[in-house]
Chain A
């Protein structure tokens, strides 16, 4: 049980490390947001499982379950909000056709003048 908990702790930490590597290495905001949204979710899940396997009390299990559930709900929602704000205000050009531009009426079209690929 302790061994399994330790392995889960180290694996989860490695996922957080992967998010950090992605945040440093990736070229633009959208891809950084991509790693920052996905990897820490699994990392927090694994670290929580490891902590529960080491502590083994009911109180800690409930609290860690709450934390993991909150991360699973709030992580994607927060990243989505941030990505939408980046798209609407800064609008760095996308790789490929931008199908959202004609549907999102709060999108700042003026800054997309140099974006002529695909359409």
Chain B
């Protein structure tokens, strides 16, 4: 089960990377980075479920906070500077 979850998350990360490289404007890239952070969070959660130990759960908490702060800062940047 965890192997399937890993595979699906890898494909999702690749799709977000495609949007990160292609993305015509800055907000597109911000969306792709946000999605990549969520993918990393879910990957660490799947790792913890795989190992059956709470390793990395605190990392997930930190990454979630960091993703929110990064999105806010980048939104300010987009508004100030434009695309």
Contacts and interface: CB of A to CB of B under 8 A. Distances in A.
A101 interface: no
Main secondary structure of the interface of B (DSSP, over half): helix
Contacts, number: 178
A112 interface: no
Contacts of A10: 1, 4-5, 8
Interface string A55-78: 101011001101100110011011
Main secondary structure of the interface of A (DSSP, over half): helix
A80 to B, nearest CB: 9
Nearest to B64: A70
B48 A51 contact: yes
Interface of A: 3, 5-7, 9-10, 12-14, 16-17, 19-21, 23-24, 29, 32-33, 36, 40, 43-44, 47-48, 50-51, 53-55, 57, 59-60, 63-64, 66-67, 70-71, 74-75, 77-79, 81-82, 84-86, 88-90
The size bracket of the interface on B is 35 or more
Given A74-B68, A84-B75, A55 B49 contact: yes
B28 to A, nearest CB: 6
